[in-house]
């Protein structure tokens, strides 16, 4: 499966390379890979480091599936969409 986490980790080459780049343990990146998503609290740092290193990565990459469609919450997730009022 090509998840959001898989694609972003792939831009850095390996789990270890991403972990070293942003200052977290490799086991944290491995957990993101298992879940298929990267926590929001890490996304800005990843974007900053990618920019510094010339790695092509944009905010939209965290919110799209591999085909460029918006990501949907996993089934059974407590995340719900609310209509704007």
The answer, yes or no, to whether residue 53 has pLDDT greater than 90, is yes
Cβ atoms 55, 65 nearer than 8 A:
no
Partnered with residue 70 across adjacent β-strands are: 64
Task: Please give the share of the chain, as a percent, with pLDDT higher than 70.
Answer: 73
SS3 (DSSP) at 36: coil
The answer, yes or no, to whether residue 54 has pLDDT greater than 70, is yes
Cβ atoms 45, 38 nearer than 8 A:
no
pLDDT 10s digits, 10-28: 999 999 999 999 999 999 9
Q: What's the pLDDT score for residue 76?
A: 53
How far apart are alpha carbons 76 and 25 in whole angstroms?
A: 29
The answer, yes or no, to whether residue 71 has pLDDT greater than 50, is no
Cβ atoms 46, 8 nearer than 8 A:
yes
Q: What's the pLDDT score for residue 64?
A: 67
State pTM to two decimals: 0.73
Q: What value does the mean pLDDT take over residues 65-74?
A: 50
């Amino acid at each position: 499966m090509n998840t959001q986490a898989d694609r972003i980790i792939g831009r850095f080459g390996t789990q270890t390379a991403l972990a070293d780049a942003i200052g977290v343990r490799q086991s944290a990146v491995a957990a993101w890979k298992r879940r298929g998503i990267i926590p929001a609290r890490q996304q800005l740092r990843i974007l900053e480091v990618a920019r510094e290193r010339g790695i092509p990565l944009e905010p939209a990459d965290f919110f799209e599936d591999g085909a460029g469609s918006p990501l949907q919450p996993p089934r059974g997730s407590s995340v719900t969409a609310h209509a704007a009022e």
